[in-house]
Amino acid sequence: MKLAIYGYGNLGRGVECAIHKNSDATLVGIFTRRDPKTVRPLYESTPVYSANELLAHKESIDVLILCGGSATDLPEMTPALAEHFHVVDSFDTHATISKHFDRCDAAAKAGGRIALISCGWDPGLFSIARAYASAVLPGGAAYTFWGRGISQGHSDAIRRIAGVKDARQYTVPREEALAAVRSGQTPALTTREKHLRECYVVVEDGADTAYIEKTIKEMPNYFADYDTTVTFLTEEELRREHGGMPHGGSVIYNGRTGKESEHGHTVEFRLSLDSNPEFTGSVLVAYARAVDRMAKRGVCGCKTVLDIAPGDLLMESAEELRAHLI
């Protein structure tokens, strides 16, 4: 399959890496809205084109992987491109997935294309874990814990405070909540009881650290509802100790069976990721394969990960999978 990348930040680099790990995939190129001369791909062999040239490459691209952000890029980008290409995006604003779906569905159907949206690990693999568990054990309780990992949105919120030079924020699940849910309990957990927030902050010379710490801890939506720790450190320490992009988490589902609901069952799906964008990029490439196959079977319209059979994600044939994987 011939894949192309649209947008080249951390996620785009993750997709570029992932394509090199999949022997049935070739990378047609990166399409960027910046000046292509300023973009340095990870692999020298990767062509870089201007986004303006995209339509001229229409015939040579099987699936276009969209690596824009969910806040402003994807709500416009995915419907606009789904009319011309089979596309995969990682739209992750849970509250507006239905609206995004409807717009992408109309565009994809108009062009006879497939638009697979909200792909990655949450939404994505975590959605799938919630789906399997609640299908098998209806009426149970689902818990999603995130971390320990870097939240880009929370890190950015800290960086916007006056006097802050750089920052990283870790979302950390509370061990006592994890342990209770893993043991089969179904507690009602508040936001504060599920996660902690750890902030590592570099300040400008002479900045008021007491003010910065207070501003972080009282920030509505981002930090006010959590127990938050703030640690000030040097730029060098931040780069050395907190330079990576790890993430992960767990979906844990507790349900009951038996005539008197006397038997409890715990289903857990857990990810521990050294690089959030590289793992997410790898998920997008696996789903691009499924989109390519479904397109060849004549499918069109908007799809989510819940519409894709797991066998379509794998390089191996159905016969090989029955013989070796099932």
* H or E stretch covering 264: strand 263-273
Task: Please pick, from the candidates 198, 207, 268, 295, the single residue that binds a copy of itself as defined by CB under 8 A.
Answer: 268
Burial 258-287 (b: 16+ CB within 10 A, else e): eeeeeebebbbbebebebbbbbbbbbbbbb
Site for a copy of itself contains 171 (CB under 8 A): no
Residue 38 one-letter amino acid: T
Tell me the residue type at 36. P
∠ CA 146-10-22, nearest 5°, is: 90
Region of 71-79, 186-194, 203-211, 281-289 interacting with a copy of itself (CB under 8 A):
281-289
Q: Contact, 7 vs 68, CB < 8 A?
A: yes
Stretch 70-129 residues interacting with a copy of itself (CB under 8 A)? 94, 97-98, 101, 118, 123, 125, 127-129
Other beta carbons within 10 angstroms of residue 57's beta carbon come to 17
Amino acid at 186: T
Q: Which of 40, 56, 139, 298 binds a copy of itself (CB under 8 A)?
A: 139
Q: Using the rule CB under 8 A, which residue among 181, 269, 288, 291 binds a copy of itself?
A: 269
Task: Tell me: does residue 282 bind a copy of itself (CB under 8 A).
Answer: yes
What is the nearest approach in angstroms of a copy of itself to the Cβ of residue 90? Answer: 12
Q: How far is the CB of 97 from a copy of itself (least distance, A)?
A: 5
Candidates 65-73, 82-90, 168-176, 283-291 — which segment interacts with a copy of itself by CB under 8 A? 283-291
**Does residue 6 touch a copy of itself according to CB under 8 A?**
no
Ramachandran angles phi, psi of 103, nearest 5°: -65, -40
Size of site (CB under 8 A) for a copy of itself: 71
Straight-line distance from the first to the last Cα atom of the chain, in angstroms, rounded to the nearest whole number: 25
Closest to a copy of itself by CB, 203 or 308 = 308
The region of 15-23, 67-75, 166-174, 218-226 touching a copy of itself under the rule CB under 8 A is: 15-23
- Give the x/- contact pattern for a copy of itself in 37-76, rule: CB under 8 A: -----xx---------------------------------
Whether 118 contacts 90, CB under 8 Å: yes
State in angstroms the smallest separation of the CB of 114 from a copy of itself. Answer: 14
DSSP state, residue 313: G
Pairwise CA distance, residues 211 & 107, whole Å: 48
Q: Is 299 in the site for a copy of itself (CB under 8 A)?
A: no
